[in-house]
Chains A and B, each alone.
Chain A
Amino acid sequence: MRPNRILTFLFLVGLAGFIGWADGHLDRFIWRVLNFGAIYALAAVGYTMINGVTGQFSLGPHGFMLLGGYLTTLFMLPLHQKKVVWLFTPLSWPFNQFTLPYSGFILALIAGGVLAVLASLVVGIPALRALRGDYLAIATFGFGEILYVLACNFMGLTNGPMGVKGIPQYTDLKWSVGALVVLTYAAVRLKNSSFGRALRAIREDELAAESMGINVFWHKLLAFMFSAFCAAVAGGLMATLIGTITPDLFRFFMTFYLLMIIVLGGLGSISGAVVAGFIFAAIFEALRFVDTAVVPGMRMVVFAVLLILVMLFFRRGLFGREEFTWEWIMRSLRRAWRWAWAKTS
């Protein structure tokens, strides 16, 4: 295990160095794509924990992203901007009383995560106890839609469909990749721990798992809470990257994106979700010309076709259920080396 730790350490040092340089110097367009990639990857890591590792089909992550996005906005928006935005309906107490400085950004993100965890309990306790499969998907989908409608109508908190603008754009690679690294580490640890084994056992055979003493309901709830937390932090980062937030930013299409990412990465593979998150963000931007050249919205058609192709030819995604490990890289490198050697001699 020693050499792996050294490699991981070197990788993290390299990553930190790159981020330190990139936040100031990288081309703004690529910088933005990388930020979006990290945010999608973060939400996808959480999402694959409940959908992939535990095998419980949830369609609710856009609801949790919405909660995180709005709460972070309410914490970080400067007071003068709050007065400007909430022109018709005044902003509710206590958010009209305070705003957090940049140093409070991490608190705002965590608060969004905690709010989403509480919400996941509200929806998860009844839904995960009684429902599975399609029914669970419908219940969680309904939850996301309810939050959308609430966001449109609770003018005093969200300013409704008009949204909020002028959010300080605090998110940079340091924040987005930092959050991704921390929560991916947590996800990998969780998946490989005894708790993760219990989650996988639930996916494989729920009846057997509960017969072996595993509290199936509690473990499903655990995975659901984890996914809600990741989604909410991702939502908070997204709002402070874009600088504006509307209820439409977190509609069902967001869950659809995440679903594509985790299927592309391989259901249940955390490293797959990370890699696919960045790939998704890159393709999403690369295909922007399709929208302008053909008709607006054409990008989504291309994506849907891509998803069908993935399902037809790569049913297990990029990584299947495997993880991207140093051993895997070493094996591949050795194989490539042997192949190249055979070619030349």
Chain B
Amino acid sequence: MGENKLILSLQSLTMKFGGLVAVRDFSLDIGYGELVGLIGPNGAGKTTIFNMITGHYPPTAGKVVFEGRDITGLPPHKVALFGISRTFQNIRLCREMTALENVLISFHSRIRSTVFDAILPTPRYVREEWKMRERGLELLSAVGLEKWANFRAGALPYGLQRRVEIARALATSPKLLLLDEPAAGMNPAEAADLMNFIRRIRETFNLTIFLIEHVMQVVMGICPRIRVIDFGVSIAEGTPDEIKNNPKVIEAYLGEEALRA
């Protein structure tokens, strides 16, 4: 794979919190259009890696290179503008706002109107607001949520909230989507449903997806390439079959129970 085909390159990322090393020397290259899974036991440092990519934590050492540009340590809102968007492990919607409004806040950073345009309001702002709403509704129907557009996000059932969160992430027009345990708290049927959904939006929106998952079955089903970390260190990488049979992974991740089975 040539250098120019890489969308994201993580180079020896290390994150220390005081004396605790949450992530040590983590490197990973992701090519355009890939769907890569990151798995590991609880507390292995998966979310920390996401937070380093999105700028919520400036890494102690190492580099984050996105589309050939070094974005290490940039604040989160700038990273988002470069084309990286994310969802959160524990859904973080603006619960008091409607599903549509949640999507609309993602368009905000790209509007051209100034505050004064919005207050007056000038025709330029009115046009932009109208266009945003139209695009927001379009996006919601693309993910099958048009019925719920004017419902309060906090009042929606859990599975739909997750979809609104993904729709909100898509509204920033990302090139790379980071999904942090999208199937957390879902039963197997819901999780399978969600995975189909992720596969579908990946094709529709031409996305590269990097996803964290805790439930092995879920990530095995959709990720052709999987990286495994434990205690902040990479321990394996490969196809689902390779990972499944890797003794290190079985020992560290699946535990003794799996060895017995």
Give chain A residues whose Cβ lies under 8 Å from the Cβ of B92.
205, 207-208
Cβ contact within 8 Å between B75 and A210 = yes
B118 is contacted by which of A189, A205, A321 (Cβ under 8 Å)? A189
Q: Distance (Å) between the CB of A2 and the closest chain B CB? A: 16
Q: Does A222 contact B (CB under 8 A)?
A: yes
Q: A190-B115, A213-B81 are in contact. Are A197 and B97 (CB under 8 A)?
A: yes
Cβ contact within 8 Å between B101 and A210 = no
Per-position binary interface string of chain A over residues 207-236, scored 1 when its CB falls under 8 Å from any chain B CB and 0 otherwise? 111111111100000100000000000000
Stretch of B5-13, B16-24, B104-112, B247-255 on the interface side: B104-112
Give chain B residues whose Cβ lies under 8 Å from the Cβ of A209.
94, 105
Give chain B residues whose Cβ lies under 8 Å from the Cβ of A194.
104, 107-108, 111, 113, 118, 128-129, 132
Q: Does A195 contact B (CB under 8 A)?
A: yes
Q: Does A200 contact B (CB under 8 A)?
A: yes
Cβ contact within 8 Å between A201 and B54 = no
Give chain A residues whose Cβ lies under 8 Å from the Cβ of B120.
189
Give chain B residues whose Cβ lies under 8 Å from the Cβ of A321.
96
User: With the chains together, A162 CA to B160 CA distance in Å?
Assistant: 63
Cβ contact within 8 Å between A212 and B168 = yes
Which residues in chain A, 173-194, are within 8 Å of chain B measured between CB atoms?
A: 186, 189-190, 193-194
B106 is contacted by which of A195, A200, A213 (Cβ under 8 Å)? A213
Closest residue of B by beta carbon distance from A207: B92
User: With the chains together, A214 CA to B111 CA distance in Å?
Assistant: 11
Q: Does A273 contact B (CB under 8 A)?
A: no
Cβ contact within 8 Å between B97 and A204 = yes
Give chain B residues whose Cβ lies under 8 Å from the Cβ of A207.
56, 88, 92
User: With the chains together, A186 CA to B116 CA distance in Å?
Assistant: 9
A197 is contacted by which of B81, B101, B128 (Cβ under 8 Å)? B101
Give chain B residues whose Cβ lies under 8 Å from the Cβ of A157.
none
Closest residue of A by beta carbon distance from B116: A186
Q: Distance (Å) between the CB of B106 and the closest chain A CB? A: 4
Cβ contact within 8 Å between A193 and B125 = yes
Q: Does B119 contact A (CB under 8 A)?
A: yes
Give chain A residues whose Cβ lies under 8 Å from the Cβ of B109.
212-215
Q: Does A34 contact B (CB under 8 A)?
A: no
Main secondary structure of the interface of B (DSSP, over half): helix
Pick from B104, B119, B132, B172 the residue with the most CB of A within 10 Å: B119
- Count of chain A residues near B, Cβ 8 A: 24
Give chain A residues whose Cβ lies under 8 Å from the Cβ of B171.
212
Closest residue of B by beta carbon distance from A204: B94
Cβ contact within 8 Å between B93 and A211 = no
Give chain B residues whose Cβ lies under 8 Å from the Cβ of A205.
92-94
Cβ contact within 8 Å between A212 and B80 = yes
Cβ contact within 8 Å between B85 and A201 = no
Q: Does B121 contact A (CB under 8 A)?
A: yes
Q: Distance (Å) between the CB of A213 and the closest chain B CB? A: 4
Q: Does A198 contact B (CB under 8 A)?
A: yes
Pick from A198, A205, A209, A211 the residue with the most CB of B within 10 Å: A211
Give chain A residues whose Cβ lies under 8 Å from the Cβ of B200.
none
Q: A204-B95, A207-B92, A212-B85 are in contact. Are A189 and B121 (CB under 8 A)?
A: yes
Give chain B residues whose Cβ lies under 8 Å from the Cβ of A197.
97, 101, 104-105, 108
Give chain A residues whose Cβ lies under 8 Å from the Cβ of B113.
194
Closest residue of B by beta carbon distance from A190: B119
User: With the chains together, A195 CA to B114 CA distance in Å?
Assistant: 9
Cβ contact within 8 Å between A195 and B95 = no
Q: Does B77 contact A (CB under 8 A)?
A: yes
Closest residue of B by beta carbon distance from A225: B115
A residues engaging B (CB < 8 A)?
186, 189-190, 193-195, 197-198, 200-201, 204-205, 207-216, 222, 321
The 7 closest A-B pairs by CB, nearest first: A213-B109, A204-B94, A193-B118, A213-B80, A208-B92, A210-B76, A212-B106
* Cβ contacts A to B, 14 pairs, < 8 Å: A190-B115, A193-B118, A195-B108, A201-B94, A201-B97, A204-B94, A204-B97, A208-B88, A211-B85, A212-B168, A212-B169, A214-B77, A214-B109, A215-B109
